[in-house]
Amino acid sequence: KGESRQVWYYHTDVTGTPQEVTAADGTLVWAGYIRGFGENAADISNSGAYFHQPLRLPGQYFDDETGLHYNLFRYYAPECGRFVSQDPIGLRGGLNLYQYAPNPLSWVDPWGLAGSRLPRSNGYWDGSPGESNWHSNNPSVNAITGGEPISFSGGRPDFSPWSKGSITFNEGVLNGSQNDFTEVYKSIAKEMNITPTAAKNLLSEKGLTPHHLSVTEIILVPSDLHGNVPHIGSASDMRNSSRC
């Protein structure tokens, strides 16, 4: 109360990592050179005064005392690109218990648990990457979506608005492996009284790809959509879970 309020605008890269901060009038107050795995190599301020900007990779907050990044469930060491403690969810987060993400240019791990693969080019996010809508500029994608954005939650896309069919399996049948495709072909073959090979060829002719909506349901999504929007989903969750 009684103090003047100031508004700062953050400018980020496609993963949500801050690159610049400007004042309400557009003046650059902070710029950082944040390396691939989150190490801040330089702080630049046009005002000549220190501007405290603690945000680093998505979900990370710089701790001045330790030099580490607070990443909710554990701390992260940017110099070596690894967490300082094992993943609390074990192998469900991947085989390397200390790894941040396979590729920080397209994957994020805002909770310090498991990385998410997100689209980073040919489009833009209208909010936090992985927790908002992805607006694709890819003509092949927009031919399917009609230019509508693709909703993401928890780093997972919702392709269901463009689904051309769904198949529900008993729990335990699907495991996120290539064998799931065999189960899809067998199910379609039984329904249409054709061979599994014919079912596989039919999906290819129609340009459809099986996508794991959950651990028991697979939807048939246009291949031009599925193949041009980087993502993870229930398939990768099941693969990681089976390693535990």
CA distance 231 to 210: 14
pLDDT per residue as tens digits for the range 93-150: 666 788 887 777 777 777 666 666 778 778 998 987 788 999 999 999 999 999 999 9
Nearest to 164 by CA among 214, 104, 211, 199: 211
Domain co-membership, 88 together with 148: no
Domain co-membership, 39 together with 104: yes
Is 2 a member of any domain? Answer: no
Q: Which residue has the higher pLDDT, 90 or 147?
A: 147
Domain co-membership, 103 together with 180: no
Domain co-membership, 16 together with 95: yes
Nearest to 164 by CA among 224, 233, 237, 232: 224
Is 135 a member of any domain? Answer: yes
pLDDT per residue as tens digits for the range 21-79: 998 888 888 888 888 788 887 777 665 566 888 999 888 999 988 999 998 889 999 98
Q: Which of 87, 108, 129 is the last residue of a domain?
A: 108
pLDDT at 174 over 80: yes
pLDDT per residue as tens digits for the range 181-203: 999 999 999 999 999 999 999 99
Q: Which domain holds residue 27?
A: 8-108
Question: What pTM was estimated for this model as a whole?
Answer: 0.58
Domain co-membership, 138 together with 200: no
Is 1 a member of any domain? Answer: no
Return mean pLDDT, the chain: 85
Number of domains present in the structure of the chain: 3
